[in-house]
Structure 1
Amino acid sequence: MNLKPKPDDVLVCKVEAFTGHAFQDLDLLRLALTHASAKGGEGNYQRLEFLGDRVLGLVVAQMVFEANRNAPEGELSLRLNALVNAETLADVADEVGLSDLIVVGNELRTVAGRKRINLRADVMEALIAAVYLEGGLEAARSFISRYWEKRSRVPTAARRDPKTELQEWAHQMTKTAPVYVVERRAGPDHDPVFDVSVAIAGYEPATGTGRSKREAEQAAATTVLIREGVWKEESR
């Protein structure tokens, strides 16, 4: 007799495959994956997100502290911030296929850009909290280390946000701020692509492409920083 696995069993197996933790409390797991917009349920991941943010920060702070024994406090802070920001969390969520497991209401099924990044990041933090609550700190640490340790060793982990870096450099060189302009928007609403240019007085403009305006602006800023020798090409 060929019995199909129950949906709960499939969910647990999928999550265990990338977290290394087999959930026993299915209500806790579902809570971590449920957005407030979802119908039919009273609970959502927001409280878990609050806890997961602190657990992630603690584990990654220790990871960065131990891996960079000669780094000053400022560099450690830059590394930590780069590893726990929404972009990195969303990137990990994409890597493990978490997006397909998130339960949302119809109005959020087509969101894109910054809202979509924040959604994936928030659920990742909530899932970290759920692993921590059921399996303890070591279970959470094992899950986090699996995906964050390799990222912590990338040279760009200590690099500042390119828009912030470019703004300070432009102010120092020209006493003016960079001006960003959306040159083109293509693709459907749920999966847009932006081309953005950045202009600085006295310098050649540069362009960047991304899935959101912010991502495209960062790409354009990075191009200028590398072109003008502020950043090295190999640090991209």
Structure 2
Amino acid sequence: MSNYQRSTIECQKYLEEFNIYFQQLDTLEKALTHPTYAYENNLKDSNQRLEFLGDTILGFIVAEYLFQTYTDKNEGDLSKIKGALVSGESLAIVGRDIFLYKYLLMGKGEDKIGGRYKDSVISDAYESLLAAIYLELGYEVVKQFIYRTLMHKIAELLENGMMDFKTILQELVQKEYKKNVEYKILEENGPDHDKSFTAGIFWEDNLVAIGVGKSKKEAERNGAKLAISYFENEKFKKEQ
């Protein structure tokens, strides 16, 4: 690629805020190239191979950081933190924070249906960008970029106790009642690039909690958190 897209040049300018300077923009442009754009423009490569490498780089750097920083936590706790930190939902939030969706090269059809705003597309692009930084500028540069864009979320995760609320809820109700709850999406609002979901948590056909989120999973998780309080209150009343 010799004639770089305007979005690629704009992305480079933005990355300068993180002291990241690509000498040649070929690798950066490839990181921003969605498969649909590559297909429509008869390009050999998209960002998929870079995504594969970026996923591995991210996993190692996060694991290294957690191992060195949280010496009081066991393997299970570290795995939970790492899993939450590098999840697609978490990376999509980070990708939005750095405006990756603005710079992506998308096929016209995919772009028309809001593809550039999808969690999976943004999280993949973030991992591809990490690989591009690593290949062009090296390990220390990509590590500092990850530290600046992602690691601040650890405090939030630890504050929430690294709870998988759906699992906790399932264990609670199965222990007390030998039966699980049911999740239903009650509402889906907003355009494709900015949807909001409302999930209902039902127990024996009764609505016991409602959760709202930017994805179905987030809505269900938020609902599960409230449902835990409901069942713990029911358990407390039974014990009185």
- TM (norm. structure 1) is 0.85
Match of 2:236 in 1: none
Go from structure 1 to structure 2 and tell me whether the alpha carbon gap of 1:69 and 1:189 turns closer, same or farther (over 3 Å shift): closer
- The 5-angstrom pairing of residues 51-90 of structure 1 reads 51-90=53-92
Q: Is the 8 A contact 1:79 1:158 kept in 2?
A: no
* Aligned amino acid, residue 218 of structure 2: E
Q: Structure 1 stretch 142-151 or stretch 188-197: which is displaced more?
A: 188-197
Determine helix, strand or coil for the equivalent of 1:104: coil
- Are 1:10 and 2:4 an aligned pair? no
Match of 1:212 in 2: 215
- The 5-angstrom pairing of residues 1-236 of structure 1 reads 7=6, 9-17=9-17, 19-38=18-37, 39-40=40-41, 41-109=43-111, 110-111=113-114, 116-154=118-156, 155-156=158-159, 159-201=162-204, 205-228=208-231
Q: Is the 8 A contact 1:83 1:157 kept in 2?
A: no
Deviations 1:185-235 (A, max 9, x none): 3333443322211023498610011223222111111212345559xxxxx
Q: CA deviation at 1:69?
A: 0.6
Go from structure 1 to structure 2 and tell me whether the alpha carbon gap of 1:190 and 1:69 turns closer, same or farther (over 3 Å shift): closer
Determine helix, strand or coil for the equivalent of 2:210: strand
Q: CA deviation at 1:119?
A: 0.7
Go from structure 1 to structure 2 and tell me whether the alpha carbon gap of 1:226 and 1:138 turns closer, same or farther (over 3 Å shift): farther
Go from structure 1 to structure 2 and tell me whether the alpha carbon gap of 1:127 and 1:167 turns closer, same or farther (over 3 Å shift): same
RMSD (Å), alpha carbons: 2.5
| Cα distance between partner residues in 1 of 2:105 and 2:115 | 16
| Cα distance between partner residues in 1 of 2:52 and 2:160 | 24
Go from structure 1 to structure 2 and tell me whether the alpha carbon gap of 1:105 and 1:143 turns closer, same or farther (over 3 Å shift): same
Q: Which runs of 5+ in 2 are unaligned?
A: 234-240
Q: Structure 1 stretch 221-230 or stretch 179-188: which is displaced more?
A: 221-230
| Cα distance between partner residues in 1 of 2:145 and 2:192 | 34
Q: How many residue pairs align between the two structures?
A: 223
Deviations 1:104-154 (A, max 9, x none): 1123222479x8111110000000011111111101111001122221233
Determine helix, strand or coil for the equivalent of 1:185: strand
Determine helix, strand or coil for the equivalent of 1:197: strand
Deviations 1:133-183 (A, max 9, x none): 111110111100112222123324751432233223222222212201222
- TM (norm. structure 2) is 0.83
Q: Which runs of 5+ in 1 are unaligned?
A: 1-5, 231-236
Q: Structure 1 stretch 22-31 or stretch 100-109: which is displaced more?
A: 100-109
Deviations 1:26-52 (A, max 9, x none): 110000011100122331111111110
Match of 2:237 in 1: none
Go from structure 1 to structure 2 and tell me whether the alpha carbon gap of 1:229 and 1:170 turns closer, same or farther (over 3 Å shift): closer
| Cα distance between partner residues in 1 of 2:175 and 2:80 | 21
Q: Is the 8 A contact 1:82 1:158 kept in 2?
A: no
Aligned-residue sequence identity (percent) comes to 32
